[in-house]
């Protein structure tokens, strides 16, 4: 049974008085515990601490109420494994080598968990890593293989080999976490706990307890759902992540292949494969609950479909997308609540840094999109909430330009450990504690995974509070200038507008300096293109055929020979 709150308080007071009586100097500051909570593809638009338009997330919000909410946190490369590599190494992806999801992480990189472990921390990781190899520097881990599954997932474990656990991934990852806290955590050591959800990643399967609540909801549409990309530029128009055109009726929106057959809707292969793959993972009872819950959706769709035009289809797909996506977040929020409750009930809030973030942001219909990858706000930015009792003032907000690049140095700084020279971020402690200097005026961004799924061109960018200057290279040579203050929906490219000539020149100069500072170059970009295409030629890249890869490779060789 828990000690009643008042008794606990007086016990603490009594011990404090006894301690004060025995010593005149303050107790040495113990290195803080770190609870790093990260979800996969969790848009800040879907956290009520940022906006309650779509969903209430009372538990995640607790972290902001007890600490600081960052409104300008971003990633250096908006895709899963590269973001994780940046978080762990404190280096941009062009230097840690993990520029896309395709190649295994180079584990000769030194990561902050390895350093914390070597300095006396107990370390554990549960959930999604997506590295293609196991994490170094962890006393314990149970990670999903690759993307992992929502239902009855497999796990790669440090001590039990590969296991399959029945149930829903978000709940299971939390059970592992709570079990470790209760049974394996060593009181005499500070700890680093990485609690990493798979949700709300595509293809958005919610826990069955949330079917009733979410399958009947209707959500407000974003202003730019019907974006025509005309003023955004070529790269935006070329991307394949439009809800109407690229979201699958079955694989994403969960209409059964039979329903599609009846309506003579020709769904492309991968979507049906994805849908059937998920059905196969369900136990009979889970499958029955799923099919029962979604049946009314199929029936009403069948009745409506013959009259639907493209606009109606977009409205319909957006609602279906939001129901499933937000449904998965409900379980994340409940489970985060369980972990916070545990920390509170076990006096672990006192010296623990609690972080909630995502590996990147996500489009929830803005510009008509789902997915991420672009330097536009919804995927470039990422949620960031940080609590640390007595160090971070509750209920504070920071609009500083911080990045996932900064986590490693922040945690090392908090543990009073010098960060290796090679790390490129900055400790967030001055911002968190509101003591010390913070002077960053711009951040650097570089996305690589192209040509591949979703077809988002390679690009690098400088981002300040007022502007973004983006360069798409390789398949195109396009510059985009965004005016963040006057065009917050980021629908226009002012690059060729003469009234921006001075701004443009200034940003070009700053971008050049930033690339030098972070040691990025065209030469490196070219190396990554060649590496990617060579691997695609041998059939190893998802979303790019061998034939197409060979064609592009030959074109590049010809262009070089001509130069
Ligand atoms: C899968 C998804 C993509 C998604 C990538 C990367 N397709 O390939 O939509 O962009 O993961 O996501 S799916 O058909 O498998 O659902 S990431 O978060 O891991 O980077
Ligand atoms: Ca992700």
Question: Are 197 and 244 part of one and the same domain?
Answer: no
204: left (phi over 0), alpha (psi -120 to 50) or beta: left
Residues 511, 517: Cα–Cα separation, whole Å? 10
Ligand 1 and 80: CB distance under 6 A: yes
Ligand 1 and 100: CB distance under 6 A: no
Q: Among 297, 321, 345, where does a domain finish?
A: 321
Ligand 1 and 442: CB distance under 6 A: no
Handedness of CA 231, 234, 240, 241 (dihedral sign): negative
Question: Are 182 and 52 part of one and the same domain?
Answer: yes
Question: Are 66 and 172 part of one and the same domain?
Answer: yes
Question: Are 355 and 480 part of one and the same domain?
Answer: no
Angle of helix 310-345 relative to helix 169-183, nearest 10 degrees? 10
The pLDDT score that the predictor gives to residue 28 is 54
Provide the residue count of the chain: 563
- Asked if residue 193 lies in contact with residue 177, where contact means CB atoms within 8 angstroms, the answer is yes
Closest CA to 250 of 279, 275, 273: 275
- How many structural domains comprise the chain? 3
Residues 336, 333: Cα–Cα separation, whole Å? 5
Q: Does residue 2 carry a pLDDT above 70? A: no
For 340-377, the pLDDT digits (tens) are: 999 999 999 999 999 999 999 999 999 999 999 999 99
Pocket test for ligand 1, best of 99, 145, 202, 456 (most atoms within 8 A of CB): 202
- Ligand 2 centre distance from Cα of residue 447 (Å): 13
Q: Among 265, 300, 321, where does a domain finish?
A: 321
| DSSP for 174-200, written as a single string | HHHHHHHHHHT--TTS-EEEEEE--TT
- What residues contact residue 246 under an 8 Å CB cut-off, 6+ apart? 240, 370, 454
Task: List Cβ<8 Å contacts ≥24 apart for 104-108.
Answer: 104/131, 104/132, 104/133, 105/81, 105/131, 105/132, 105/133, 107/131, 107/133, 107/136
For 302-317, the pLDDT digits (tens) are: 999 999 999 999 999 9
For 88-133, the pLDDT digits (tens) are: 999 999 999 999 999 899 999 999 999 999 999 999 999 999 999 9
Residue of 13 and 224 predicted with greater confidence: 224
Pairing of strands 122-127, 191-196: parallel
- Is residue 483 assigned to a domain? yes
Residue 310: beta bridge partners? none
Question: Are 63 and 178 part of one and the same domain?
Answer: yes
Q: Does residue 13 carry a pLDDT above 70? A: no
Ligand 1 and 543: CB distance under 6 A: no
- Is residue 5 assigned to a domain? no
For 59-100, the pLDDT digits (tens) are: 999 999 999 999 999 999 999 999 999 999 999 999 999 999
The ligand 1 atom nearest the CA atom of 372: 10
- Cis bond before residue 339 (omega within 30° of 0): no
- The HSE-up count of residue 262 (CA atoms within 13 Å, CB side) is 12
Pocket test for ligand 1, best of 87, 150, 201 (most atoms within 8 A of CB): 201
The mean of the pLDDT values for the chain is: 93
- Ligand 2 centre distance from Cα of residue 362 (Å): 8
The ligand 1 atom nearest the CA atom of 130: 19
The pLDDT score that the predictor gives to residue 268 is 75
Ligand 1 and 452: CB distance under 6 A: no
Mean pLDDT (whole number) for 522-551: 87
Q: In degrees rounded to 5, what are phi and psi of residue 168?
A: -105, 130
For 502-523, the pLDDT digits (tens) are: 999 999 999 999 999 999 999 9
Question: Are 84 and 163 part of one and the same domain?
Answer: yes
Question: Are 57 and 185 part of one and the same domain?
Answer: yes
Question: Are 422 and 476 part of one and the same domain?
Answer: no
Residues 345, 339: Cα–Cα separation, whole Å? 10
Domain of 299, in residue numbers: 208-321
Question: Are 357 and 501 part of one and the same domain?
Answer: no
Residues 240, 311: Cα–Cα separation, whole Å? 18
Question: Are 241 and 360 part of one and the same domain?
Answer: no
The ligand 1 atom nearest the CA atom of 79: 20
Residues 163, 154: Cα–Cα separation, whole Å? 6
**Helices of type H across 69-197:** 80-89, 93-96, 112-118, 169-183
Ligand 1 and 271: CB distance under 6 A: no
Question: Are 72 and 175 part of one and the same domain?
Answer: yes
- Cis bond before residue 203 (omega within 30° of 0): yes
- Ligand 2 centre distance from Cα of residue 126 (Å): 16
Q: Among 269, 290, 321, where does a domain finish?
A: 321
- Ligand 2 centre distance from Cα of residue 308 (Å): 32
Q: Could you give the percent of the chain with pLDDT greater than 70? A: 95
Q: Quick one: pLDDT band at residue 11, thresholds 50, 70, 90? A: very low
- Is residue 23 assigned to a domain? no
Ligand 1 and 83: CB distance under 6 A: no
Q: What is the largest CA-CA distance in the chain?
A: 82
Q: Does residue 4 carry a pLDDT above 80? A: no
Ligand 1 and 203: CB distance under 6 A: yes
Closest CA to 39 of 250, 198, 230, 205: 198
Of 28-32, 243-247, 447-451, 476-480, the poorest mean pLDDT is in 28-32
Residue 527 sits in a domain of what CATH number? Answer: 3.30.1120.10
Closest CA to 84 of 102, 71, 98: 98
- What residues contact residue 433 under an 8 Å CB cut-off, 6+ apart? 391, 392
Question: Are 58 and 182 part of one and the same domain?
Answer: yes
Ligand 1 and 79: CB distance under 6 A: yes
- Is residue 11 assigned to a domain? no
């Amino acid at each position: 049974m828990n000690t009643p709150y008042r008794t606990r308080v007086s016990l603490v007071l009594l011990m404090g008085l006894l301690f004060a009586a025995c010593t005149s100097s303050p107790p040495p500051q113990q290195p803080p515990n770190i609870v790093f909570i990260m979800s996969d593809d969790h848009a800040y638009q879907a956290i009520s601490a940022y906006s309650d338009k779509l969903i209430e997330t009372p538990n995640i919000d607790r972290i902001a109420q007890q600490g600081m909410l960052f409104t300008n946190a971003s990633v250096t490369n908006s895709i899963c494994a590269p973001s994780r590599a940046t978080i762990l190494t404190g280096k941009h992806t062009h230097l840690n080598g993990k520029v896309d999801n395709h190649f295994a992480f180079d584990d000769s990189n030194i990561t902050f968990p390895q350093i914390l472990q070597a300095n006396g921390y107990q370390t554990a990781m549960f959930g999604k890593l997506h590295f293609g190899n196991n994490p170094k520097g962890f006393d314990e881990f149970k990670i999903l293989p690759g993307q992992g599954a929502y239902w009855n997932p497999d796990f790669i474990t440090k001590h039990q080999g590969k296991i399959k656990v029945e149930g829903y991934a978000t709940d299971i990852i939390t059970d592992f976490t709570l079990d470790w806290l209760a049974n394996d955590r060593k009181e005499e050591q500070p700890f680093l706990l990485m609690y990493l959800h798979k949700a709300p990643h595509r293809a958005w399967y919610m826990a069955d307890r949330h079917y009733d609540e979410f399958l009947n909801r209707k959500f407000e549409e974003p202003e730019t759902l019907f974006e025509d990309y005309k003023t955004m530029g070529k790269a935006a128009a070329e991307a394949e992540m439009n809800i109407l055109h690229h979201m699958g009726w079955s694989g994403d929106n969960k209409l059964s292949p039979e329903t599609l057959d009846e309506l003579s809707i020709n769904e492309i292969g991968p979507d049906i494969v994805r849908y059937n793959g998920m059905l196969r993972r369900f136990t009979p009872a889970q499958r029955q609950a799923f099919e029962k819950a979604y049946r009314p959706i199929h029936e009403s769709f069948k009745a409506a479909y013959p009259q639907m035009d493209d606009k109606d289809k977009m409205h319909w797909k957006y609602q279906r997308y939001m129901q499933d996506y937000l449904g998965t977040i409900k379980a994340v929020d409940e489970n985060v609540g369980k972990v916070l409750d545990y920390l509170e009930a076990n006096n672990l809030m006192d010296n623990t840094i609690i972080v909630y973030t995502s590996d990147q942001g996500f489009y929830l219909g803005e510009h008509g999109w789902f997915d991420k990858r672009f330097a536009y706000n919804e995927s470039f930015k990422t949620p960031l909430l940080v609590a640390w009792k007595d160090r971070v003032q509750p209920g504070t907000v920071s609009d500083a330009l911080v990045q996932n690049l900064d986590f490693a140095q922040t945690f090392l700084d908090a543990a009073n450990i010098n960060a290796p020279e090679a790390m490129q971020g900055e400790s967030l402690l001055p911002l968190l504690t509101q003591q010390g200097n913070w002077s960053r005026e711009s951040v650097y961004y570089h996305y690589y995974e192209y040509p591949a799924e979703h077809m988002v061109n390679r690009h690098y960018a400088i981002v300040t509070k007022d502007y973004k200057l983006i360069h798409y290279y390789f398949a195109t040579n396009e510059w985009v200038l965004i005016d963040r203050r006057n065009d917050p929906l980021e629908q226009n490219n002012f690059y060729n507008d003469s009234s921006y000539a001075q701004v443009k020149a200034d940003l070009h100069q700053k971008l050049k300096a930033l690339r030098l500072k972070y040691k990025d170059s065209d030469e490196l970009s070219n190396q990554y293109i060649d590496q990617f295409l060579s691997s695609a030629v041998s059939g190893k890249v998802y979303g790019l055929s061998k034939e197409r890869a060979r064609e592009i490779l030959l074109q590049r060789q010809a262009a070089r020979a001509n130069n």
